[in-house]
Amino acid sequence: MDGQSQLQFFRDPFPRRVSHYFRYPRTINSSLNAPMIALPDPSLMSLEEYLVWEPTQEQRYEYWDGEVVAMSGGTRNHNRVCLNFSKLLDEALVDHPCEVYIVDVKVQVEPGKKYFYPDVVVTCDERDVDAQLIQFPCLIVEVLSPSTEAIDRGTKFAKYRRTSTLQEYILVQVEQPGVEIFRRNEQGKWVLSEYGLGEVLELKSVGVKIAIADLYRQVQFDKEEADN
């Protein structure tokens, strides 16, 4: 490939993903008559550009202060736990003014600056009318993996908990059974509770109880990991 058609790569500020920075993607032809390819552009993308450009892409991208960050794929266990959790919530909330979304709906974490894709999100706020995103979540679920755990526990939780409507933030293990829930108390402090396989998870933000075993339906654990 000649120098004019060589892709440029930029360091990912978030270790779990490959980051690509775009304005409107430009395309060129190489001297070898290769297909048209998009050239990454190092300039930052405005929010307005991101909201127009991102729905047209085959994969999902989060927005971090102008930087567009590609989302990585997940395992079968990860996908199964997300599906189980969303289905259980959706069925329990069928007669409530709440809506449950999974994977492909982004959350406005910081207006104009940060927009993330949680694994599961619930909103019960009548102000949530935007077709592209959730602005007033009350419950967010992140299903962990080795490559995502650090950022889900750290940077993302630090940003999510600034959302005034968020009441519960849930982390679900997939390597072995285990659920952690961070709940905002009356003093505005976040309190951690942990649940094991034989217990029942109480989600006070939506008035729902879920057996932990039901979250792991059809999930195959590595026997050595589960024994630990």
**pTM confidence score:** 0.79
Could you tell me which of 72, 64, 54 has the C-alpha nearest to residue 155? Answer: 64
End-to-end CA distance of the chain: 49
pLDDT bucket at 71, cuts 50 / 70 / 90: confident
Token pair listed for 188: 């505005």
- CA separation for the pair 16, 13 (Å, rounded): 9
pLDDT tens profile 170-198? 999 998 999 999 999 999 999 999 999 99
What the chain holds in terms of domains, given with CATH numbers, is: 3-70 (no CATH), 76-227 (3.90.1570.10)
Phi-psi label, residue 66: left if phi above 0, alpha if psi -120 to 50, beta otherwise: left
pLDDT tens profile 16-59? 333 443 333 333 233 333 333 333 454 589 999 999 999 999 88
Could you tell me which of 164, 148, 156, 151 has the C-alpha nearest to residue 106? Answer: 156
Contact (Cβ atoms closer than 8 angstroms) between residue 203 and residue 169: no
